[in-house]
Amino acid sequence: MRIIVCGMGVVGQSFLRLLISNSNLLYKNYGIKPRVVACIDSKGIAYSQTGLDLERVLRVKEKYGEVSKYSETIFKADNHIENIDAEVLLELTPTNLTTAEPGLSHVISGLRTKKNVITVNKGPLALSFSSLVELSEYNNVMLRFSGTVGGGTPVLDFAKHCLKGDRITSFTGILNGTTNYILTKMADGLLFREALQDAKEKGYAEANPSLDIDGDDAAAKLVIMANWIMGYKVTLKDVDKTGITDIDQEEIVKAAMDRKSLKLIANCDKENLFVRPIPISKDDPICVNGTLNAVTFQSEHSGAQTIIGKGAGGMETASSVLRDLIEIKENFTNYQLN
């Protein structure tokens, strides 16, 4: 199985480490012999059609900050993704919820050249979900994205596979670990700015945390879930969104007095999509603290089912990429993916 890794940040590097440590297990249990033929970052590319030395790629990235120093030989092609022979493209670049670029172009290039695509990038799916799914089906390849929601926690797989045969009628939950951490610290007595600074110092929030605290990240995940699980055709503009920047201690204290906790809740019910801070009962299964995520699915026959887990982390998200890779192999048993 020849693989292109596009995006060599935390998730990309974590994925390479997973391959290094699990190569024997992947072959023994799933018959997969992954061969990474290209690693692409914002500055260039490391390429070998016979397969890259992954440990060397990681050393080069750490030492020089770019993978192109892997070899003196330069891969000469205008579009790396289209011109490299591979069965699978991993699109692991940072999320852009304004234009979805460059991730959107990467995904389209991969699908158009009949590559199976795995992405953890929420931008392309939040803005162009339906067209990308249609493109993958037209080219008879798979588009998988379990890491876009819940990190390593299999939220999408749980809804799609574990509740197979049942009809999910609605879902609600906490989809952003950063805001959940901030609200947890505010419940402990910190002001918003203090809780945000604490989240930054611990690595839970970016230097520019607007995607999290304004509710955009949760809204993007909500859109992906609504489209994939419920069969809707919605985008970010269909989400009624309010972030947590205006929350003060008075609201936190009032919720606590009612035995409730203020949480940033994402909800999908009959195409009514919203993200907003809501006081919920401390006995509610989704009332989790810290960086945890939690989602409750309401189904026609099984009732309420809740899944809880870590919502982020390089290795956790990389594990979701590996899970998608295994699914692609299992769905193409007659296809030359070895």
Give the pLDDT confidence of 287-319 residue by residue, as tens digits: 999 999 999 999 999 999 999 998 878 899 999
Residues facing 175 on adjacent strands: none
Q: What is the reported pLDDT for 207? A: 77
State how far the Cα of 230 lies from the Cα of 168, in Å rounded to an integer: 7
Q: 10 Å Cβ neighbour count for 209?
A: 18
- Average pLDDT (207-215) is 93
9 exposed, middle or buried (CB, 10 Å; 0-12, 13-18, 19+)? middle
pLDDT of residue 164: 85
Cross-strand bridge partners of residue 241: 275
What does the pLDDT read at residue 338?
47
Looking at residue 76, its pLDDT comes to: 53
Confidence (pLDDT) at 152: 83
Query: Could you report the per-residue pLDDT of 15-29, keeping only the tens digit for each?
Result: 999 999 998 899 899
Strands across the sheet with 168-174, in order? 240-241, 272-281, 260-269, 168-174, 292-299, 303-310
C-alpha span between 206 and 48 (Å, rounded): 34
* Closest C-alpha among 146, 174, 16 to residue 7: 16
The pTM of the whole model exceeds 0.75: yes
pLDDT in tens, 142-161: 999 999 999 889 999 999 88
State whether residue 250 is helix, strand or coil.
Answer: helix
Instruction: Please tell me the predicted confidence (pLDDT) of residue 336.
Output: 47
Digit-coded pLDDT (tens) for 109-125: 999 999 999 999 999 99
pLDDT number for residue 206: 82
Please provide the distance, in angstroms rounded to a whole number, between the alpha carbons at the two ends of the chain: 5
Sketch out the chain's domains with CATH numbers.
2-152+315-331 (3.40.50.720), 155-310 (3.30.360.10)
Which pair of structure tokens corresponds to residue 265? 């809740």
Q: Where on the phi/psi map is residue 84: left (φ > 0), alpha (ψ -120 to 50), or beta? A: beta
pLDDT at 313: 82
pLDDT(199) > 50: yes
**For 165, which DSSP code?**
T
Cα distances (Å, whole numbers) of residue 297 to 177, 266, 338 = 19, 12, 36
Amino acid at position 131, single letter: S
Alpha-carbon distance of 175 to 229, in angstroms, equals 15
Per-residue confidence at 334, pLDDT binned at 50, 70, 90?
A: very low
Q: Catalytic residues, which ones? A: 221
DSSP state of 185: H
pLDDT category at 253 given cuts 50, 70, 90 is: very high
How confident is residue 72, by pLDDT bands cut at 50, 70 and 90?
Answer: low
For the chain, give the percent of residues with pLDDT over 70.
96
Q: Residue 126's closest CA among 108, 109, 149?
A: 149
Q: Is the pLDDT of residue 286 over 60?
A: yes
pLDDT greater than 50 at residue 104: yes
| Residue 47 dihedral angles phi and psi, to the nearest 5° | -140, 140
Give the whole-angstrom CA distance, residue 73 versus residue 149: 38
Strands 2-6 and 88-91, bridge-based pairing:
parallel
